[in-house]
Amino acid sequence: MKKIHVNLSANSYNIYIDKDLLVKVGEMIAKGKEPCKTLLITDENIGKIYGEIVAENFRQNNFDVKLLALPPGEDQKNIENALLLYDHCFAHKLDRKSLIVALGGGVIGDLSGFIAATFMRGIPYIQIPTSLLAQVDSSIGGKVAVNHPKGKNMIGCFYQPTAVFIDTNTLSTLPSKEMVAGFVEVIKYGVIRDAELFAFLEKSMYDIFQLNHEALLKIIATSCQIKANVVEQDEKEKDLRAILNYGHTIGHAIETITNYKKYRHGEAVAIGMLYASKIAIELGLTDNTVFERQLSLIKNLGLSIQTGLKSESIIKALYTDKKTISGRLRFVLPTKIGEVIISDKVSDEILYRILDNPL
Ligand code: NAD
Ligand code: GLY
């Protein structure tokens, strides 16, 4: 088992990564917490495979568990479901010492974390991420939110979990498109902070998609460690944490224009990373190999990279993103594999030039 400590003073916690954790998680939590009322939140896809396994493990350790499965999908991350979940918190008589457990992908993690952050002004919560994206990104770092019709993740806060339990076995049931979307976030970590991780992805893609345990352990633990280091230095995204948004500026614009229907988040981020690299080349910050190496990995994932979207609509969407500061766009740009800078010096002229050409 790998253990990564996220050092955030009073809000510190551990991330545990191993296979077969789902049948141990209740027991592990019981070592540090009195058994209590527990709301276990999942979605129906995940609930039917893993819900009872996890609930039973908690029950065996004397936790009073109520298991609740929402329909799957991004559109479930809304305030109406938050209200529904508060009703369940009241019905199950949760108090400030109770526990919320998020068993699922980023949708369930973000929504459950938001409930935990706001119910009675905050109660403890545990993340048990089951998608690769959630295991390497969304379950760590405490960004919790629901969507608003005016924008994704617009209603939320920073609220750290008490612990994160990553069971690599859960990836065996993850649909392959979701695995690909999560893999893109791992490429992101390689580009922003770790050339060795990037080279490992180039060499080991087959093993990773065959779910080789050692390969999974390596990419998940390395990604979690990178995210932990960044969050420790800048929990509330005043500056450094923005590097985690590499590929997300244009990626998010693409998702917005296509109403979150055409691209999975990771697919849009992959395109965003390629455009960010083109911008960096245009600005003389890096050379073409940085682009080519990412392109090759992304193509091997089978992702299509030409959007057919008009540069004008992408740029318009860029200016409505919450990542703009005082109306200026901020881009995370690679200088080499393993290193990025944050720049607000990308002119609209450059953007038009890059976005008007196919990748
Ligand atoms: P998701 O939660 O919708 O999961 C994707 C799909 O995979 C769902 O249909 C789900 O039911 C299914 N699934 C998940 N694990 C499974 C498993 N082990 N077996 C079978 N099916 C499984 O999406 P996601 O990609 O995990 O997360 C996306 C969400 O994460 C978005 O809402 C995004 O905003 C959020 N996010 C948050 C952060 C953060 O820092 N909080 C970071 C990145 C993304
Ligand atoms: N996924 C970006 C962040 O957590 O800051």
Query: Right CATH number for 2-171 from 3.20.20.70, 3.40.50.300, 3.40.50.410, 3.40.50.1970?
Result: 3.40.50.1970
- Ligand 1 nearest atom to the CA of residue 185, by list position: 43
Residue with CA closest to ligand 2 atom 3: 244
- Ligand 2 nearest atom to the CA of residue 242, by list position: 5
How far apart CA 329 and CA 349 sit, in angstroms, is 13
Residue 121 annotated among the catalytic residues of the structure:
yes
Phi, psi of 356 (to 5 degrees): -80, -15
pLDDT for the residue 149: 87
- What percent helix, strand, coil does the chain show, rounded to 5? 50, 20, 30
pTM metric for this prediction: 0.97
How far apart CA 277 and CA 332 sit, in angstroms, is 9
User: Tell me: the pLDDT tens digits for 13-65?
Assistant: 999 999 999 999 999 999 999 999 999 999 999 999 999 999 999 999 999 99
- Ligand 2 nearest atom to the CA of residue 141, by list position: 4
How far apart CA 271 and CA 184 sit, in angstroms, is 10
How far apart CA 100 and CA 113 sit, in angstroms, is 8
> Could you tell me if the CB of 24 is within 6 A of ligand 2?
no
Residue 5 annotated among the catalytic residues of the structure:
no
| Residue 279: Cβ within 10 Å count | 23
Q: What are the sequence ranges of the domains in the chain?
A: 2-171, 176-355
Please give the average per-residue pLDDT across 124-147, as a whole number. 98
Task: Indicate which residue of 178, 185, 235, 255 is catalytic.
Answer: 185
- Percent of the chain topping pLDDT 70: 99
> Could you tell me if the CB of 248 is within 6 A of ligand 2?
no
To the nearest whole number, what is the mean pLDDT of the chain?
96
Q: Which ligand is nearest to the CA of 54?
A: 1
Please give the average per-residue pLDDT across 191-213, as a whole number. 98
Please give the average per-residue pLDDT across 188-204, as a whole number. 98
Residue 92 annotated among the catalytic residues of the structure:
no
How far apart CA 92 and CA 110 sit, in angstroms, is 21
pLDDT for the residue 260: 87
Residue 245 annotated among the catalytic residues of the structure:
yes
Residue 293 annotated among the catalytic residues of the structure:
no
Q: Which two tokens stand for residue 19?
A: 């296979």
Chain-centre distance for alpha carbon 156: 15
Residue with CA closest to ligand 2 atom 2: 244
Q: Which two tokens stand for residue 316?
A: 């318009």
CA angle, 320 as apex, 319 and 323 as ends, to 5°? 80
The tokens 């080499």 sit on which residue?
336
pLDDT band (50, 70, 90) for residue 151:
confident
Mutate to test the pocket of ligand 1, among 178, 184, 269 (most ligand atoms within 8 A of CB): 178
| Residue 36: Cβ within 10 Å count | 18
Looking at this protein, which amino acid is placed at residue 266?
Answer: G
Mutate to test the pocket of ligand 2, among 143, 226, 240, 249 (most ligand atoms within 8 A of CB): 143
Please give the average per-residue pLDDT across 235-260, as a whole number. 95
pLDDT for the residue 323: 67
pLDDT for the residue 321: 74
pLDDT for the residue 150: 83
Helix axes 348-355, 265-282, angle to 10 degrees: 120
How far apart CA 267 and CA 210 sit, in angstroms, is 20
Residue 252 annotated among the catalytic residues of the structure:
yes
Query: Right CATH number for 176-355 from 1.20.1090.10, 1.10.530.10, 3.90.79.10, 3.40.50.2000?
Result: 1.20.1090.10
DSSP code at position 71: P
pLDDT for the residue 88: 98
Residue 143 annotated among the catalytic residues of the structure:
yes
How far apart CA 127 and CA 49 sit, in angstroms, is 17
- Percent of the chain topping pLDDT 90: 93
How far apart CA 240 and CA 144 sit, in angstroms, is 19
